Amino acid sequence: MHPLTPLVAGLRERHPGLEVQVRDASTAARAFDLVRSGEAELGVVDVMPPDAGWGRCDLGAEEIVLMASPAFAAGLDEPVARARVAGLDLGVIPSDLDSASAAATAVASMAGRVRARCAHRTMLWELVRGGTVAAFVGRDTANAVTPWAVLRSLDPPLWRDAHLVWREQALSPAGAALVELAGLAGHADLARGGDEPPGDR
């Protein structure tokens, strides 16, 4: 969800008549397949393009945190040690673990007591809200859509990189406008700039 939401909102503000279609590819591999086949023009992924011929715009990093209900989080330190997380009742979106990214690998290593596997995020978030399980989520995403949740940083911290990708020389005017907007928003064009936040990726 983050950072695509503010980019699409900005694009619609600049071009009010534009129709935007957003699909959930579930995995980075599937996102690359959709863009490669022409079913999608742009993709947001957490790994680097698999081969040559791709354009890429880095969208920055989002911290991955543990999301829980107030009651569930009452006994958890801030930050919470990863070894402690491995002993908690967790809920996951299976496709989130099906990635070659370092973040997905780290999350999978902590998911030792999975008590709920949900195909839909809204269902998982409702289980978290009810105190049944805790779940991993991006901090910016959680702040935007689950304001009721208690968020605990991980120790050591965990970050997920996001990249906007497309096939070179295959952008429509609308696609080019979104790429341009991402650049104007201060994102690096071809490589990460500035200091990287600490923690795994």
Q: Summarize pLDDT for 142-169 with one digit per residue, the tens.
A: 998 999 999 999 999 999 988 999 998 7
Q: What is the pTM of this model?
A: 0.82
- Alpha carbon 28 to its chain's center: 11
The confidence band for 201, taking pLDDT boundaries of 50, 70 and 90, is: low
Res. 196: pLDDT tops 70? no
Token digits for 45?
């992924």
Cα–Cα distance for residue pair 190/144, rounded to 1 Å:
28
The domains of the chain, with CATH numbers, are 4-60+159-184 (3.40.190.10), 61-158 (3.40.190.290)
Top-confidence residue, 53 or 192 = 53
Question: How confident is the model over 22-50, as a mean pLDDT?
Answer: 90
Per mean pLDDT, which range of 6-10, 52-56, 185-189 is the poorest? Answer: 185-189
The helix (H) or strand (E) run that includes residue 98 is none
Specify the 3-state DSSP secondary structure of 46: coil
The confidence band for 69, taking pLDDT boundaries of 50, 70 and 90, is: very high
End-to-end CA distance of the chain: 18
- pLDDT the model gives residue 137: 93
User: Looking at 94-200, which runs of residues are DSSP E strands?
Assistant: 114-117, 134-138, 150-152, 154-155, 158-167
Name, in order, each residue with C-beta under 8 angstroms of 134's C-beta and a sequence gap of 6 or more: 66, 67, 68, 72, 73, 85, 88, 89, 90, 91, 128
Specify the 3-state DSSP secondary structure of 151: strand
